[in-house]
Amino acid sequence: MRQMRLLTACLAGTAAMLAATVSFAQEIRDANLTPYAVKDYAIEKSLTGKPGDPAKGRQIATTSGQGNCVICHKMPIPEVAFRIGNVGPDLTEVGGRLTAAEIRMRIVNPKLLNEETIMPAYYRVTGLNRVDKKAQGKPMLSAEQVEDLVAYLSTLK
């Protein structure tokens, strides 16, 4: 019984330590990409140091070979209504639900939140299973394109 209590105390201690660790910003450096800090499942700073362009972000969200987010997410883009998928959550009001910093992390690397997710990490080069040699060493989207998407998604309220 005493051992049991000791074990419980140890586990509680470890949990507290882990909670303390995640509240620090974790700096992520990935090959030649702009380094960024993740804290509370969010990336506070713009990857380019500037705000993105929402009109460009809207375009990227529907363009195959770029974001092509609409194949999995409902978004208010009537021109592509016929090819909108619903594999992921509806993003129609995502700007009201998540901060720009939270949206940024989910585009950069949603695996930080859910290792099993089928959503691609758009700003990552290591740890990807790439068939196409030409695509190796390059992220799916540039830092500017990520910021354009963050700006666009933030307008969806």
The site for ligand HEC (CB under 6 A) is made up of 61, 67-69, 71-73, 87-89, 94, 97, 103, 106-107, 110, 114, 117-120, 122, 149, 153
> Angle at Cα 107 formed by Cα 132 and Cα 82, nearest 5°?
80
CB of 33 or CB of 119, closer to ligand HEC: 119
Q: How far is the CB of 112 from ligand HEC (least distance, A)?
A: 10
What minimum distance in Å lies between the beta carbon of 86 and ligand HEC?
A: 10
Minimum distance of ligand HEC from residue 100's CB (angstroms): 10
Cα–Cα distance, 49 to 21 (Å, whole number): 26
| Minimum distance, C-beta of residue 14 to ligand HEC, in the bound complex (Å) | 25
Closer residue to ligand HEC (CB): 14 or 157: 157
| DSSP bridge pairs for 39 | 42
Tokens of 62: 């529907």
Residue 148 near residue 53 (C-beta atoms within 8 A): yes
Reference 140, options 155, 120, 126; nearest CA is: 120
Whether residue 70 contacts residue 82, with contact meaning beta carbons closer than 8 Å, is answered with no
To ligand HEC, the closest distance from the beta carbon of 9 in angstroms equals 33
Residue number, 34 or 66, with CB nearest to ligand HEC: 66
Residues contacting residue 27 through CB under 8 Å, at least 6 positions apart: 35, 36, 37
Residue number, 17 or 115, with CB nearest to ligand HEC: 115
Query: Toward ligand HEC, which CB reaches closer, 17 or 143?
Result: 143
